[in-house]
Each structure stands twice: as C-alpha cells, then as structure tokens.
Amino acid sequence: MPPAEGADVPPTPNSNPNIPPITKSAITAMRHPPPESKESLRLRRYVILSFWAVAIFIGLPIWWKTTAIYRAELPLQIMTDWADGKICRPVFPLRISVEAPTLQLQDAHNLIRATQHALDDLNEFSAHHLRLMLADAPLSAANASQQVVISGGPGDRSDDEDIALSIRLIPIETGTAPRSILQPYAPTLDVYYSPNQIPPPSSTGSPLATFIAHELHKIFAEEQTLLAHLLSTTSNVYTAKMKSLSSETVTELERQSTRTLKYAPTYHLTFSLFSPTFMPSSWEIEAALQQYLSPLLETFSSISNFTVDTQVQLYATFSPSIRQPEYDENLKAWTLRKEDLSGFINAAEWPLSPSIGVSPTVNFILYVPDQSQSPLLVKESGANSWLVPQWGGVLILNPAVTGQSPMTLTKDALTPAMHTFSEQLLSLLGLPQSPASLPLRLSTLKRVRAASLLFSASSTLGALARLTKALKSIPIPDNVAKSVDTAIAHLQQSCSDLRDGRFQGALENARIAETAAEKAFFEKSMVGQVYFPDEHKVAVYLPLLGPVAVPLIMAGMKELKSLRGR
Amino acid sequence: MLSFLALLLFNAFIASASASSDYSEHLLLRPLPQKALLASFNFRSNESSTAFEQQNFRYFPRSLGQILQHAGTKELHLRFSLGRWDAENWGQRPWNGAREGGTGVELWAWVEAQNEEEAFARWLTLTNALSGLFCASLNFIDATKTIRPVMSFPPEGDHQNPSQLHLLHGTLPHEVVCTENLTPFLKLLPCKGKAGISSLLDGHKLFDASWQTMAVDVRPVCEEDGECTLETEQTVDMVLDIDRSKRPRDNPIPRPLPIEEIECDTSKGYSAQDTCYPIHKTSEPAFSLSGIYGRSLKGACPLTDESSENSYTVCINTPPERIIHVNTTGQYAESTSENHAMRCYKLPVGADFDLVLPEQQMTTRLVLAQPPLYAARHINGHGQEHGSVQAVITNPSSTDAVEFVYLESLPWFMKPYIHTLQARVNSSPENPIRETYYRPAVDRQRGTHLELRMVIPAASTLTLTYDFEKAILRYTEYPPDANRGFDAAPAIIRLISPESLDKKGIYLRTTSLLLPLPTPDFSMPYNVIILTSTVIALGFGNIFNLLVRRFVGADEVQGMGPGGLKGIIRGKVERLKARFLTKKKTA
C-alpha cells in the first residue's frame, strides 16, 4: 500500500507510539485474579522441584550409566614409566668361568683379580660387564654341562647356561705365550701361557692378566656396540652414559637393524624356485635342505623355531615396471640394473603370499633365468644374489654350462644357493658377525633380542597408555587390562632375569611380555566404536529431549524469577 | 549314441591316463545345437602325500596346500558357477554333473576332526582362508549356510580313517562369479595360463558364456600297495554362444549389419528395397579357437607327459564330415577315435596352435546323450507371508526306473512345513519317497536340511511340493539390496541307480530360487524415534502444564485485553502497521 507522494495521512491514535491505546482500554477493563494462596504456590514449587529432581537424580544417572563406555583401570603411570625406562635399566652381567686346573688356588685367585681389574679399566659401558669366576673343579669342557660354579658371592649358585664363556688356562713350555684360541663351536677360549707369566701374589698387574682382559674385551666388543646402540636408540635415559659410537658404526648398525626381521618365536621359511620358462621344473630341495639347512636351524632352536616349505613356480615373468635385462659386452652376461632389484620380485604375479599362521614368513627365491638370458647378473657389482631387508633373499642361479638347462636341479647344483641362503638367513636373523665362535654369537643374539623385546614391549605399553589418555571415547575391555598386567609382570621378571644373568629366562619372559603388550594394543573391540558421530547423537536425542526440556526449563526459570522478585 | 559313447570313453581315457604322470591337461570341444559350443577344460596334477606333508610343493599349489593342512581338510570340492545348463537342447552334462556346482559358489569338504565342534571350527578356518585365496565371499558361509549331508556326497578319495572325517557343505547362491575368481584359479596351475590350453581362458569370454562352471577338487588317491598321492583336479566347463563370442573385444555391442551383408530370404515378397527377411541358417557356424576366445593357444604346457596318449591334449567331437583346419607353425600330431567322431591333437611346444572350422552344411548330426533326469524347481504362491516350492523331476528313460537323493539346503528365513511335503508320480499312485532325512532350521543358527531318497518309474514325472512361511528379518539382517530378494540354493540330485562308473557319481542341480521377503522402510528407526518422541513430549507437556499452571478467567489475565488472544494479535498488527506507515512518511 504505497501512500501517494505528499499525501497527508490523517493522524490516528495508533500513530502515537508513546501511548498505546490498548493499555488505556485494558486499564479500564482490568479485573484481578484472586490472589494465590501460599499453599498452592508451594505446591507448584514442589511439583517443579520434583520434576527436576527426577530428571537430575534418576534420568541423568540412568542416561549416564547406559551410554557410558566401559574403561577398565589401566596402570597408566607404570606403563608410562616402563616406556620411559624409569623402572628397568637393563644390565648384562656376563659370567666368565676360568678353568685353571694346573694353577694353585691362590695363584688362580690372584690372576682372576688382576684380570678383573684390567677388564674393569677397559670397559666403558657400565651396563655390560664381565665378571670372572673360578671354576670349582678342574673338569674338561666336554662334561662342563654338569658343572656347578661358585662365584664370589656366598650362596650365589647358577646353572651352567649362564656362563657366557669359559676360559681354559693351559700351560705350555714352548711357543709364543700368551696366546689364545677361540673354539669355533663351543663357548671356550683356550689361553696358552708359560708358567712364569703367573703374577706373583703381591703384584696388581701382570702381562697375562692384561692379555686375557684385552682378549675378552675384543670378543665382546661387537656385543657391547650392539647393546649400546640399542640402549641409546630406544631410550633416552642412557644416552648420556653411553660411550660414544662413531657415526660409521651407527650407520652400519642402523643398516643391520633395518634388515633384521622382527623377532618371533617361530619363522616360516619358504624356498621357491622360479623360472621364466618351464625348465627346470623340479629340484632336489629336500636333500639339500636336509644337508645344508637343518643343522643351522637346530642351533637356533633355543632362540626361534622354524618351519620350512618349498614350491616350484614356472612361467614367472618380471613385472613390467622394471627394465628388462640388457646384454653387457664386458661382463659377457645379461645384467639387471641395481635400482631394478627392488622390483625384481613380481609381487602381483608370483605366489609368495605369507604362510598361514601368526609367524612371519622368510622367503628365499632361487631364480633360474631363461636360456636366452643366461648368465644374468647385477650390472654394478656382478653379483648374483641379494638380500631383501626383513623379507628374504634372492639368488639367480645361472646354469653352470651354457647349453641345455636341466629339467631337474640336483643337490650339487643347489649347494652354492644353499650356502648363500644360509648366510642370508643368519643376516636376516640379526646374528652378529663376530666373534668367530658360533655359540658365542648365538648367546649375543639372545641378549640383544631379549633387550630389544624388552624395549619394544615397554614402548608398546607406553603407546597404549598415551592412546588411552588421548582418546577418551574408546572402550577398554577387561582383557586389555589383564594383558597389560601380564606384560608388566613378565617385563619385571625379564628385567630381573637380565640383572641376574639368566638370559634364556629373560628372553622367554620378554617374549611373553611382548605378545601380551601387542595383544592389548591391538585389541579389536577397542577400535570398533572410536567414531560415533555427534550428528547421530543429536538425531536420536533431540526429538525427545527438546520438547520435554523446554517446558521444564521455562517453568523452572519462571519460578526462579518469581522467587527473586519477592 | 555315438557321442555318448565317445564321452564315456573320453572320461575313462583321462582317468586311466592321468594316474601314470604327474600333470596332464585336456580340452574337449563339442559343437552343440543352436550355435553353442561346449568347451571342457581339465587340469590334473598329482603330488605324493609324503611331499605334501613335508610341504615340498611341486605341482600342488603351495597356497592351497597350506590352507588344506592348516584346516585339516582331506578332501575338498569347490565350485563357481554361472548360468543354466539347457538339458533339453544340450543333453547330458559334462562329467555327468560331478564337476559342476549350483549357481554361485558351492563348497564341500571332508574335514578331519575329533568331534563336530572341532570340525566346524576347522571348516570356518577353511572357508576364511579360501575366501582370501579365491577372492570370493566364502567367509560368509557360516552356521546358517552349512549343512552336513548324509546321503548326497560319498567321499571321492581313499581315506585312511573315515571315522574321523566330517563332511560339511556350504553354498552361497547369491555370489556373482567373475574375473577375480578366475585369476587365482589360473595361478594354481603349473603353467599359469602362459602355456597349454589354459592360455585360452580369458575372464571376458568365460563369464560371458551361457553356462560356465569352475571346479577345484582335491582328493587323496591310494594305490593297492598303500602308496598315496594327492590329486588336484581343476576343471572349467562352459557353453559359449558362438556368435556372441566371436564379437571382437573392441566392438562388443551387437549392431545390425548393413543390408547388403544380410542374406535375405528371396522366396518372400518384398514391398520395398530396404526390407529383408533374414534366412534362418541351418548350417553349422564357422569358428576358430582364437576367434571365440579372443586369444591364441600358446602351444602345449611342456609338463605333460610327452610320450603317452595323454599328450593329445585338445580333442574336438564333431561328425567326421566336418572340415577342420589346423593352423600352426609348430609340429603337431592328430589322432582320431570313435569312428572319426573324436579328433585329438598333440600340441606343438612354444608355437601357437589354432583350429579353424569353416561354415558348413551338415548332413549328419551328433546324437547327444540323453540326461538321466530332467529337473526344474520354482516358487509358487503370492503375498509376503506364505509360498510353496514345486520341483518337477522327469525320467525320460522308457525302460529304467531311477533312484536318486534329493538334497535341499534352505536358508533359515524360509521355513518349510514338512507336513505339506508331497511327492506324486504321474504314472503310479505309490509314494515315491523311500527315505527322509530332515533337520529343521533354528532361527539365526542353522538352515533347513532336507534329504529325500526317491524313485521315479520309467517315463514318468515326479512332482514334489511343500509350503513354506517367510520369516520377518531384523532390521540389520537385510542386505543392502533387500528389495532384490533372497537367493535359495539350488537343489542337488544325486543318482543312486543307475550307478556311476567311477567314484565321482552322477549329479544334477536345479537353478537357484529368488525369494522375495517383506522388506521394511529402512528409514524406519528414525521415524520411530521421532514419532514416539513427539507423542511422549505431547503427553509430558500437557501433564506438566496441568500441574504447574494456574488457571484464571480470561479477563483476569494481566496484559490480556478484553479481546483475549484475538485482541493481542490485532493490537500487535496495528502497532506494526503504524510503525511501517510512519517510516514511509519520514522517507
């Protein structure tokens, strides 16, 4: 209704906003309701109050109870402490028994004291220390397994298994002395000395003692480096105390640790024969494994078990992503470029799926190239085998004589492959390179594995604790708490085992702790309901709570206002 | 009768030959009426049981072997099928139906276990592992889809301790079989589809077939002297529509030919130049292996035994007058048998091989063997509550009665009334049911398992009917495509007499059923929440206001004029109007 331009609108009473006409007429017609009795006011208040009471004291708790997420109690502080390394400081006290059947008891004690002194001077790594003990009876190494040694502390008896190394002192009349020989298949160091090198009781140092100390230090040098590196990388508490490692050593250790498989109580080994054609279609793998691999696997049985399976796969082609082999005139061979080695395994086509079961699978691939592309080598190094970190090893087996490649690979033809595979397996399992004695290397591996399991279980617990704190909405079932308790108990056990030098027990406990910690962390029911969208809650609650809450709140506010106004 | 004999002999020939060598493969081609072509691929490998236990796998695929060992499975039968075998036109089924499955996926296995619980646990392990291996939803075979057949599946292999073996059978009729199932299937073969007849298998053509079935069978075979081998048999049977298969991959859509290229029936009268009555051709269509499979046969798989009869890998079953050209650059050999109705070829190694059959007007035709029974099954009735199933089984033989076992595995939500089960034979009033095994369903725990041993007299038709009730499912139990309906597994028929010549038996299967169930509106929960909330809120608001409000006369209300609510609204409108007008005026 647009008013005409300049038209005069007659003033109406309504146009005056200051005096609304309604008020005027209302005042004249007003009739007051009868005053409310005190009784009814109180009654109304009670009604409102009781509604609110029901909502707050019954409704809210029921809602809270029915929608609450169950979270079992976790010892969060202890878990964090474990992860920070505040509870357990792994130490590696190694017992070394000294057999000196020809020496006087007094002389032997003197020698041991002197050697121990020299050893302690040499050692820079306090967590790992060697303790010499005198073997009580002069027994030969052959039946040393029944031997019980008495160490310095009274009543401190332990099994032979905890003796890391025994030193046999053998007097000789001729030849250079002192000299030492480390037994390759027994944890025994033979030290040859001439009788005049026995230190006199009064003196503190002697060339023989220094010699033995240096030898021992040399033997355990790599283990110390490994452990020092492990401790420094996994927990920051130790960093300050560590002896400084050179950067090359660190890089080398890093490289080794990246290629090493994660520790497992059982490994599946899969040996596969791949060929791009139909030849060879069979191999005498059973006999070859029996001869070359079984003895090796048996020696590892105290650390891990192994299952072995084999397969033959024909018509296995390279993946199209890598460059096909090229002929190299200088090498007189077909060559693969080094950067293509990572794509050599045609994961899409070659059936190398992991074996069934929880244990990890280690793959060993024997690739027999086509007649037309033989011999096949790696271009840069001319090598024919390489290791795939944390996965397995590959070997290209070029037929010895160029000509008709056989339908069957004999055991002899497999010998070089088996040697390479054994070395690759040792490397994948993380066996240290030195010392020369295999039992010593195995026991070193045992200690390193125990320590690394200890750290990984602790850090898993720490991660679980952080997760629990960070995500308030995830449920924590009781079995997680149970697993955490198991893990902590076994970590404790493992730590004390380490302190007492029971390394086998430490490894076993650390293994159980690790499994329990992983089980707790990867509990399925914890991830299920992490995400419950808020929109969903609104959609469910609002239609009911909105219409019910509005009259309740309005009535409550009105009553409060009237209370305040009085 | 010519070809029937040929087929029997062919099967027997394969069975006898394969025992000697470790790996063999065979392809049988047979042109069928209506421009169809049956292709039967068979791959068979043996592994000694000692090598199998030591996990030294040569021809046996390692992935499958480890699954079988892990699940304690001694004998395995796995089927992936698609389409319907047209028995009226195509005659007897390949392998007498022993190597085919019902639509979807079918799995049965003999599992070694101490008791039923352990057997079932191992069965679940097996289905889960196979599900990963074959990229199929086999892990959905749970207790509701598993039955333990009593009469239908005798063991095919030679077992050491039959008392500890448990037979479990599961079906997934809804599963769509496709290329992703063929790829792992081919990977199990020693020649991997790179050489030999398996190089013809291509997912595009295989799953475009009118009917196809893929089978994996593992069974232990023991000699008299106790020497045992584990035999793996993989078969692919398909019926291709020749015209459809010949379409090139880059132009798969059928388009009308230009009129010049169509042969018109000149005997008919034409009113215009651009019309044509196409001639119905009676001649056999031309085809070549590479044409219908879209890829060439890359020579023999060299692992087969070169010397024996077994090396004649590709066989074609046509009347002798049919012209066959062999197209290859390599050395091949040909042998004929069954009065020249069966021509077999020894493939060259490393050279492509092709069979070319030109179009030809035939004077003789193969006589296709008559199947021992015809079976059809369908759902009758209407509405969302009840229905009935009718199975019609016909014995075409004019002389012999047929005894068979009829197995139904129904989902739990299809509840049959067993008192309504009726079987009638049109030729005699006698009840044909000899024996009944019935295990009723338990809601959400197991399905119905019904096995009937019945006899059909010669040249008669048996009609089996029963009523069922459709259950109402819970909201979360419906699949995403609930309105499509639910599949009920095909019925399996095993012939008892006439008896089969080998241990495999004679089987046939009906098609699967599509069962429509009442489906809810899936936005229902929110509607329910909102509706009930509104009702509760209404009720609550009323009661609450009744309790806490004070009721006074309308003229006693403060601020309420004599006009009541109407007066208030009028006053507000007037006030607004005034403000609007004054604003206008100032402007």
The pLDDT tens digits for A462-476 are: 999 998 888 877 888
SS3 B245: helix
Residue A499: partners with Cβ closer than 8 Å, 6 or more residues away: A91, A93
Output the pLDDT for position B470. 93
State ipTM: 0.80
B561 with A22: Cβ contact below 8 A: yes
Whether A157 is covered by a domain: the verdict is yes
CB-nearest to A310 from B55, B526, B538 is B55
Measured between CA atoms, the residue of chain A closest to residue B579 is A15
A211 plus A320 within the same structural domain: no
Tell me the pLDDT tens digit for each residue of A28-45.
Answer: 556 777 777 888 888 888
* Interface size, chain A vs chain B, as Cβ–Cβ contacts under 8 Å: 137
Give the torsion through C-alpha atoms of B29, B32, B37, B43, to 10 deg. Answer: -40
**How far is Cα B250 from Cα B242, in angstroms, rounded to an integer?**
17
Which residues in chain B touch residue A561, judged by CB atoms under 8 angstroms apart? none
In the predicted structure, residue A501 carries a pLDDT above the cut 50 = yes
Which residues in chain B touch residue A33, judged by CB atoms under 8 angstroms apart? 550, 552-553, 556-557
Interface of A with B in 298-337 (CB under 8 A): 307-315, 317
Interface of A with B in 521-540 (CB under 8 A): 539-540
Give B216 or A279, the one with higher predicted confidence: B216
Report residue A237's pLDDT band, with 50, 70 and 90 as the boundaries. low
B578 with A12: Cβ contact below 8 A: yes
A284 plus A409 within the same structural domain: yes
CATH number, domain containing residue A97: 3.30.379
The answer to whether A308 and B55 have CB atoms below 8 angstroms apart is: yes
Residue of A46, A283, A544 best to disrupt the B interface, most CBs of B under 10 A: A544
**How far is Cα A466 from Cα A463, in angstroms, rounded to an integer?**
5
**A353 contact B CB<8A:** yes
Measured between CA atoms, the residue of chain A closest to residue B69 is A356
The answer to whether B25 and B41 have CB atoms below 8 angstroms apart is: yes
* CA-based nearest distance A48→chain B, Å: 7
Q: What is the DSSP string of A477-531?
A: -HHHHHHHHHHHHHHHHHHHHHHHT-HHHHHHHHHHHHHHHHHHHT-HHHHHTS-
Which residues in chain B touch residue A311, judged by CB atoms under 8 angstroms apart? 57-58, 61-62
Output the pLDDT for position A155. 36
**A565 contact B CB<8A:** no
Which residues in chain A touch residue B350, judged by CB atoms under 8 angstroms apart? none
Token pair for B299:
């020579």
Residue of A286, A349, A356, A407 best to disrupt the B interface, most CBs of B under 10 A: A356
As to burial, measured by CB atoms within 10 angstroms (0-12 exposed, 13-18 middle, 19+ buried), residue B370 is middle
CB-nearest to B57 from A25, A309, A357 is A309
Domain end (from A413, A429, A445):
A429
A309 plus A425 within the same structural domain: yes
* CA-based nearest distance A121→chain B, Å: 54
* CA-based nearest distance A512→chain B, Å: 24
A168 plus A104 within the same structural domain: yes
**How far is Cα B550 from Cα B449, in angstroms, rounded to an integer?**
69
Q: Look up the domain containing A165 and give its range.
A: 93-219
A101 plus A210 within the same structural domain: yes
B55 with A308: Cβ contact below 8 A: yes
* CA-based nearest distance B41→chain A, Å: 20
B561 with A25: Cβ contact below 8 A: yes
Task: Report how many domains make up chain A.
Answer: 2
In the predicted structure, residue A437 carries a pLDDT above the cut 50 = yes
**A55 contact B CB<8A:** no
Closest CA to B305 of B293, B295, B313, B315: B313
B61 with A351: Cβ contact below 8 A: yes
CB-nearest to B66 from A285, A355, A555 is A355
Which residues in chain B touch residue A356, judged by CB atoms under 8 angstroms apart? 66-67, 70, 129
Residue of A5, A12, A14, A558 best to disrupt the B interface, most CBs of B under 10 A: A14
Q: What is the DSSP string of B354-384?
A: EEEE--B--S----PPPPS-EEEEEEE--SS
**How far is Cα A123 from Cα A219, in angstroms, rounded to an integer?**
12
Mean pLDDT of chain A: 79
In the predicted structure, residue A184 carries a pLDDT above the cut 90 = no
CB-nearest to B70 from A30, A356, A551 is A356
Closest CA to B411 of B463, B452, B383, B450: B450
Which residues in chain B touch residue A286, judged by CB atoms under 8 angstroms apart? 51, 54, 56
Residue of B47, B55, B130 best to disrupt the A interface, most CBs of A under 10 A: B55
* CA-based nearest distance A289→chain B, Å: 11
SS3 content of chain B, % helix, strand, coil (to 5): 25, 35, 40
For CATH 2.60.40.740, list the domain ranges present in chain B.
374-515
Closest CA to B32 of B83, B80, B91, B84: B91
**Stretch A418-428: mean pLDDT:** 90
Output the pLDDT for position B254. 77
* CA-based nearest distance B397→chain A, Å: 49
In the predicted structure, residue A141 carries a pLDDT above the cut 50 = no
Which residues in chain A touch residue B555, judged by CB atoms under 8 angstroms apart? 29, 31
* CA-based nearest distance A402→chain B, Å: 20
Angle between helices A438-470 and A503-521 (to 10 degrees): 30
Token pair for B140:
């959905």
Interface of A with B in 35-54 (CB under 8 A): 36, 40, 44, 47-48, 51
A270 plus A416 within the same structural domain: yes
Whether A117 is covered by a domain: the verdict is yes
B191 with A278: Cβ contact below 8 A: yes
Query: What sign does the CA torsion over A359, B71, B191, B102 have?
Result: negative
Give A457 or A87, the one with higher predicted confidence: A457
A183 plus A296 within the same structural domain: no
In the predicted structure, residue A24 carries a pLDDT above the cut 50 = no
* CA-based nearest distance A446→chain B, Å: 29
Report residue A156's pLDDT band, with 50, 70 and 90 as the boundaries. very low
B529 with A544: Cβ contact below 8 A: yes
A281 plus A401 within the same structural domain: yes
Token pair for B132:
């990963």
Report residue A513's pLDDT band, with 50, 70 and 90 as the boundaries. very high
A339 plus A210 within the same structural domain: no
Which residues in chain A touch residue B526, judged by CB atoms under 8 angstroms apart? 539
A199 plus A348 within the same structural domain: no
Whether A72 is covered by a domain: the verdict is no
Tell me the pLDDT tens digit for each residue of A385-422.
Answer: 898 888 899 999 887 665 556 778 888 888 889 999 99
Which residues in chain B touch residue A268, judged by CB atoms under 8 angstroms apart? none
**A472 contact B CB<8A:** no
SS3 B194: coil
Per residue in B108-137, is it b (16+ CB within 10 Å) or e — as a string?
bbbbbbeeeeebbebbbbbbebbbebbebe
SS3 A108: helix
A278 with B545: Cβ contact below 8 A: no
A547 with B556: Cβ contact below 8 A: no
Tell me how crowded residue B560 is: count the other CB atoms within 10 A of its CB. 17
Whether A70 is covered by a domain: the verdict is no
Task: Please say whether the structural domain B374-515 has been given the CATH code 2.60.40.740.
Answer: yes
In the predicted structure, residue A198 carries a pLDDT above the cut 90 = no
A543 with B533: Cβ contact below 8 A: yes
The answer to whether B410 and B488 have CB atoms below 8 angstroms apart is: yes
B62 with A270: Cβ contact below 8 A: yes
Domain end (from A365, A396, A429):
A429
Token pair for A327:
């002929």
Whether A351 is covered by a domain: the verdict is yes
Name the phi and psi angles at A109, rounded to 5: -60, -40
In the predicted structure, residue A144 carries a pLDDT above the cut 50 = no
Q: For each successive 10 residues of chain B (587 residues), what is the average pLDDT?
A: 46 45 87 91 90 88 91 94 91 91 93 93 94 92 93 89 91 90 91 89 87 94 85 94 83 77 79 78 87 88 77 89 90 84 89 91 85 93 91 92 94 93 91 93 93 93 94 86 90 89 89 90 81 87 85 71 71 87 65
In the predicted structure, residue A382 carries a pLDDT above the cut 60 = yes
Interface of A with B in 258-287 (CB under 8 A): 270, 278-279, 281-282, 285-286
Output the pLDDT for position B584. 63
Which residues in chain A touch residue B56, judged by CB atoms under 8 angstroms apart? 285-286, 309-310
**A363 contact B CB<8A:** no
A136 plus A269 within the same structural domain: no
